[in-house]
C-alpha cells in the first residue's frame, strides 16, 4: 500500500484504514517488557512509516552526495531530491515560495534563529509577548533576546481549563509590543489556541508574529498564508519524519530583513577577506552542508501523511480523545490537566497517591510508553502547582483498543499501588 | 527539634535487619512485575521519617523528575555514617530504601566499598540507575559517595 500511497496524488485521497496504517509503521510491531508495545508518547516524538525509513536508506544506497555543487550526476540527483523536499514542505503549509522555507535543526533552532536575528530591531522597553503554556523553546530564546536588548517579556495568562484567558492578550498588546510568539497547540495540555485572532491583532499593532507549530502540524493542516503570521516553525520528528531537521517558514520580506544566523559555506555569494556577500533566500540561513537525507525523509513523511483524507484522520483522533475522556472516571483519583474545549489528542493527567514518574514506570512494565515530567514547560507546571504530569499523546496510528488497554492498566496501577 | 539528631538518624533498621542480603533473598521469589514493584514500594514505606524542615535546596538531590532529599549524620562514637532519604515518588522512595539498606550505618570506608550498581543489576532494576533515567537515583548514590569521601 505504501507505493500506492506515495504515488497517489492529492486529488484522490485514500480512505483511512487503521490496520493498513499500522502495518506501515514497523516499530509498532514489537513486545516491550513482554507486552505488545502501546506507543503513546507521540507528542515527544512520533514514529516513522516504512516509506520514510526506506527513502533514507535509498538515498544513502544510491544518491548520497553533496548538494548544489553540480559537477556530477549523484550531486544532481541529491540536489533534485533535496530541493524537491523543500517544495513538498512549501505545499504542505501553503507558503508562497520555497524561498520562505528554511531548513533548521528543529523547532528550537528555528526560534533561536529568529530571536537572534531580531536583536538589532529591538531596544530597551520594547515588549515581547509569549503565553503561560509555551514550551521552553518558545520562552528562553526570547528571554535571551530581552536580556541582550533590554526588552521586556510579557505573558498571556491561562485559565484552569488551560485556555488563554479571555481578553488577556488584548490588555498586553500595546504600541510597545514588537514580537508576539505563541504556540498553536500546547504540548502539555493539547489546547488549540486561537492563533489567527492573535496574529490579526498583533499585526494591527505592528508586531512581528511567530507561531510554534510543532504540536499542531501532526494533527491538522496549517495554511501559513491564511494565518498570515510572519514566522511559523515546526519539527520533522513529531511529524513522522526523521530527527535532526525542522522548518522555519518566514515571509520573504521578513527573512530578507534578518541578518544571517551562522556563517560558513552555502550561505555566501562571494567571500574575500575584505568583504563577504550573502547568498539569497533560503540559502542565506543554511550555512554548511544541510541535512539532506533528513529533508528527503521529511518530504516522504509529508507525502505519506497527506494522502489520507484529513477529516477521517481528525475524526479518528477525536474519537480516541473522547473515548479516553469517557473512561477517566473509571480510575479513582484520576484527573485531567487541560480541559480546553478545543484540543488535539493529548491527555495530561495525575492520579492521587502516585507521582507521574511512578505512573510512567508502572505503565512501561506493561508495554505502554508515555511521557512524565515537566514537559519542558515549567512555568505551566507552576501555574497548576504540579511537579509534572503523566502525558499520553495519541497519533493517528493509535487504536481504540490501545486506549482501552491504557485505562485497564491505569486501573490496575491505581488498585495495586495506592 | 523535639528529638535529638542521634535518635532521629539511628533509630531504624536500615543497614541492620533491613539489609541487601535480605532484600535480594525476598526479591528472588517474586514472580511478576506487580509483585516486584509492590515490594519496592513497600520498602519505601519503611523509610524512616524525614524531617520536613530539612526539605530545603541544600539537601535537594538534582534529578530530572521526582524530588529527592538526602541528609546525613556521622556518629562520632561509632564512626558510622547515617543517612535519611525522601522522595515524592513511591518507586523512587523504594529505590532509596534499597540504597539505604546497602549503605546506611556503615563507616565511610565500608560504604564506599558497596557496589550499588551490582545490587540493582541483580534485581534487574539497572535501568533505574542508568544515566538515561532521570529519576535522580544515580545522583542520589553519587551524593552519598561524595559525602563519605569527604568524611575520610
Choose among A402, A319, A314, A390: nearest CA to A357.
A390
C-alpha to C-alpha distance for A213 and A232, rounded to whole angstroms: 6
Say if residue A255 is in the same domain as residue A313: no
Question: Which bin fits B89, alpha (ψ -120 to 50), beta or left (φ > 0)?
Answer: beta
Say if residue A153 is in the same domain as residue A204: yes
Choose among A181, A178, A70: nearest CA to A123.
A178
Beta-carbon-side half-sphere exposure of residue A356 (alpha carbons within 13 Å): 27
Q: How far is B55 from chain A (nearest CA, A)?
A: 15
Which residues of B have a CB under 8 Å from any CB of A? Answer: 33-34, 37-38, 41, 64-67, 87-92, 134-135
Cβ distance of B91 and A388 shorter than 8 Å: no
Q: Given this model, what pLDDT does residue B137 score? A: 77
CATH number of the domain residue A224 falls in: 3.40.640.10
pLDDT category, B56, cuts 50, 70, 90? very high
Q: Residues B57-94: pLDDT tens digits?
A: 999 988 657 889 999 999 999 999 999 999 999 999 99
Question: Among the three residues A278, A305, A332, which one is the final residue of a domain in this structure?
Answer: A305
Chain B residues in contact with A358 by the CB 8 A cut-off are 89-91
Q: Given this model, what pLDDT does residue A11 score? A: 53
A365 inside 8 A of chain B by CB: yes
Chain A residues in contact with B87 by the CB 8 A cut-off are 355
Cβ distance of A357 and B92 shorter than 8 Å: yes
Tracing cell 533552532 back to the chain, one arrives at: A109
Say if residue A256 is in the same domain as residue A318: no
Most B CBs within 10 Å, among A355, A381, A412, A418, to test the B interface: A355
Say if residue A217 is in the same domain as residue A144: yes
Say if residue A63 is in the same domain as residue A179: yes
Radius of gyration of chain A (CA): 22
Chain B residues in contact with A333 by the CB 8 A cut-off are none
Say if residue A15 is in the same domain as residue A143: no
Q: Residues B116-149: pLDDT tens digits?
A: 889 988 888 876 665 555 556 788 889 999 999 9
- In three state form, how does the secondary structure of chain A look? CHHHHHHCCCCCCECCCHHHHHHCCHHHCCEECCEECEECECCCCCCCCHHHHHHHHHHHHHHCCCCCCCCCHHHHHHHHHHHHHHHHHHHHHCCCCHHHEEEECCHHHHHHHHHHHCHHHCCCCCEEEEECCCCHHHCHHHHHHHHHHCCEEEEECECCCCCECCCHHHHHCCCCEEEEEEECECCCCCEECCHHHHHHHHHHCCCEEEEECCCCCCCCCCCHHHHCCCEEEEECHHHCCCCCCEEEEECHHHHHHCCCCCCCCCCEEEECCCCEEECCCCHHHCCCCCCHHHHHHHHHHHHHHHCECHHHHHHHHHHHHHHHHHHHHHCCCEEEECCCCCECCEEEEEECCCCHHHHHHHHHCCCEECEEECCCCHHHHHHHCCCCEEEEECCCCCCHHHHHHHHHHHHHHHHHHC
Longest C-alpha distance within chain A, in Å?
73
Say if residue A122 is in the same domain as residue A200: yes
Chain A residues in contact with B92 by the CB 8 A cut-off are 355, 357
Q: Given this model, what pLDDT does residue A6 score? A: 38
Say if residue A97 is in the same domain as residue A173: yes
One of 3.40.50.300, 3.90.1010.10, 3.30.930.10, 3.20.20.80 is the CATH number of B5-151, namely 3.90.1010.10
* Number of domains forming the structure of chain A: 2
Residue B88's closest chain A neighbor by CA?
A355
> Going by DSSP bridges, is the β-strand pair A208-212/A231-235 parallel, antiparallel, or unpaired?
parallel
DSSP-derived secondary structure for B67-127: -EEEEEEEETTTTEEEEEEEESSHHHHHHHHHHHHHHTTB-HHHHHT--HHHHHHHTT-HH
C-alpha to C-alpha distance for A69 and A259, rounded to whole angstroms: 24
Q: How far is B19 from chain A (nearest CA, A)?
A: 23
Residue A376 annotated in active site = yes
Longest C-alpha distance within chain B, in Å?
44
Q: Residues A272-310: pLDDT tens digits?
A: 999 999 999 999 999 999 999 999 999 999 999 899 998
Say if residue A385 is in the same domain as residue A405: yes
Digits of tens for pLDDT over chain A (418 positions)?
Answer: 344 443 444 456 888 899 999 999 999 999 999 999 999 999 999 999 999 999 999 999 999 999 998 789 999 999 999 999 999 999 999 999 999 999 999 999 999 999 999 999 999 999 999 999 999 999 999 999 999 999 999 999 999 999 999 999 999 999 999 999 999 999 999 999 999 999 999 999 999 999 999 999 999 999 999 999 999 999 999 999 999 999 999 999 999 999 999 999 989 999 999 999 999 999 999 999 999 999 999 999 999 989 999 899 999 999 999 999 999 999 999 999 999 999 999 999 999 999 999 999 999 999 999 999 999 999 999 999 998 999 999 999 999 999 999 999 999 999 999 8
C-alpha to C-alpha distance for B15 and B114, rounded to whole angstroms: 12
A378 inside 8 A of chain B by CB: no
Picking from A366, A373, A412, the nearest residue to B64 by CB comes out as: A373
B103 Cα distance to chain centroid: 7
Question: Among the three residues A305, A320, A355, which one is the final residue of a domain in this structure?
Answer: A305
The CA angle B63-B69-B75, to the nearest 5 degrees, is: 130
Mean pLDDT of B24-38: 93
Choose among A401, A238, A390: nearest CA to A319.
A401
Question: Among the three residues A285, A305, A325, which one is the final residue of a domain in this structure?
Answer: A305
Say if residue A97 is in the same domain as residue A221: yes
> Domain limits at A330?
2-49+309-417
Chain A residues in contact with B33 by the CB 8 A cut-off are 33, 365-366
Choose among A336, A384, A378: nearest CA to A143.
A378
Say if residue A37 is in the same domain as residue A64: no
Q: Given this model, what pLDDT does residue A141 score? A: 98
Cβ distance of A417 and B33 shorter than 8 Å: no
Say if residue A404 is in the same domain as residue A292: no
Cβ distance of A387 and B66 shorter than 8 Å: yes
Residue B90's closest chain A neighbor by CA?
A358
Amino acid at each position: 500500500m505504501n507505493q500506492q500511497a506515495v504515488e497517489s496524488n492529492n486529488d484522490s485521497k485514500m480512505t483511512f484504514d487503521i490496520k493498513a496504517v499500522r502495518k506501515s509503521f514497523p516499530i509498532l510491531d514489537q513486545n516491550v517488557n513482554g507486552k505488545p508495545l502501546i506507543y503513546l508518547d507521540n507528542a515527544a516524538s512520533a514514529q516513522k512509516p516504512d516509506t520514510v525509513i526506506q527513502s533514507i536508506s535509498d538515498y544513502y544506497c544510491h544518491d548520497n552526495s553533496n548538494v548544489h555543487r553540480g559537477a556530477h550526476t549523484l550531486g544532481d540527483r541529491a540536489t533534485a531530491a533535496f530541493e524537491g523536499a523543500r517544495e513538498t514542505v512549501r505545499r504542505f503549509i501553503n507558503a508562497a515560495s520555497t524561498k520562505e522555507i528554511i531548513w533548521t535543526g528543529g523547532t528550537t533552532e528555528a526560534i533561536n534563529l529568529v530571536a537572534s536575528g531580531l536583536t538589532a530591531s529591538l531596544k530597551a522597553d520594547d515588549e515581547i509577548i509569549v503565553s503561560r503554556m509555551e514550551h521552553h523553546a518558545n520562552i528562553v530564546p526570547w528571554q535571551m533576546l530581552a536580556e541582550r536588548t533590554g526588552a521586556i517579556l510579557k505573558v498571556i495568562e491561562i485559565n484552569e481549563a488551560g485556555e488563554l484567558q479571555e481578553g488577556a492578550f488584548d490588555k498586553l498588546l500595546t504600541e510597545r509590543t514588537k514580537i508576539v510568539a505563541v504556540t498553536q497547540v500546547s504540548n502539555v495540555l493539547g489546547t488549540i489556541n486561537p492563533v489567527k485572532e492573535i496574529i490579526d491583532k498583533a499585526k494591527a499593532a505592528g508586531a512581528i508574529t511567530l507561531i510554534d507549530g510543532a504540536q499542531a502540524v501532526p494533527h491538522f493542516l496549517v495554511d501559513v498564508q491564511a494565518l498570515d503570521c510572519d514566522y511559523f516553525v515546526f519539527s520533522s520528528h513529531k511529524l513522522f519524519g526523521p530527527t535532526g531537521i525542522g522548518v522555519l517558514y518566514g515571509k520573504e520580506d521578513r527573512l530578507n530583513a534578518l541578518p544571517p544566523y551562522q556563517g560558513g559555506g552555502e550561505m555566501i555569494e562571494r567571500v574575500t577577506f575584505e568583504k563577504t556577500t550573502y547568498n539569497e533566500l533560503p540559502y542565506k540561513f543554511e550555512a554548511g552542508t544541510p541535512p539532506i537525507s533528513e529533508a528527503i525523509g521529511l518530504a516522504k513523511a509529508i507525502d505519506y501523511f497527506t494522502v489520507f483524507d484529513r477529516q477521517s484522520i481528525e475524526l479518528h483522533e477525536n474519537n480516541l480523545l473522547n473515548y479516553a475522556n469517557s473512561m477517566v472516571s473509571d480510575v479513582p483519583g484520576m484527573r485531567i490537566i487541560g480541559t480546553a474545549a478545543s484540543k488535539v489528542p493529548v491527555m495530561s493527567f495525575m492520579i492521587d497517591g502516585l507521582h507521574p514518574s511512578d505512573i510512567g514506570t508502572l505503565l512501561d512494565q506493561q508495554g505502554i510508553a508515555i511521557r512524565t515530567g515537566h514537559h519542558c514547560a515549567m512555568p505551566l507546571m507552576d501555574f497548576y502547582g504540579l511537579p509534572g504530569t503523566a502525558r499520553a499523546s495519541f497519533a493517528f496510528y493509535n487504536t481504540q483498543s490501545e486506549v482501552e488497554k491504557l485505562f485497564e492498566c491505569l486501573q490496575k496501577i491505581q488498585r495495586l499501588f495506592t | 527539634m523535639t528529638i535529638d539528631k542521634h535518635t532521629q538518624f539511628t533509630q531504624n533498621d536500615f543497614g541492620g535487619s533491613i539489609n541487601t542480603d535480605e532484600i535480594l533473598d525476598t526479591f528472588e521469589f517474586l514472580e511478576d512485575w506487580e509483585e516486584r514493584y509492590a515490594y519496592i514500594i513497600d520498602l519505601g514505606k519503611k523509610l524512616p521519617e524525614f524531617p520536613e524542615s530539612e526539605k530545603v535546596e541544600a539537601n535537594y538531590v538534582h534529578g530530572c523528575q521526582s524530588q529527592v532529599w538526602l541528609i546525613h549524620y556521622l556518629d562520632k562514637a561509632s564512626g558510622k555514617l547515617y543517612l535519611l532519604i525522601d522522595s515524592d515518588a513511591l518507586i523512587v522512595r523504594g529505590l532509596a530504601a534499597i540504597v539505604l539498606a546497602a549503605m546506611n550505618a556503615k563507616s565511610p570506608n565500608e560504604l564506599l566499598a558497596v557496589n550499588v550498581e551490582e545490587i540493582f543489576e541483580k534485581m534487574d532494576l539497572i535501568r533505574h540507575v542508568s544515566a538515561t533515567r532521570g529519576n535522580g537515583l544515580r545522583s542520589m548514590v553519587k551524593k552519598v559517595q561524595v559525602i563519605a569521601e569527604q568524611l575520610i
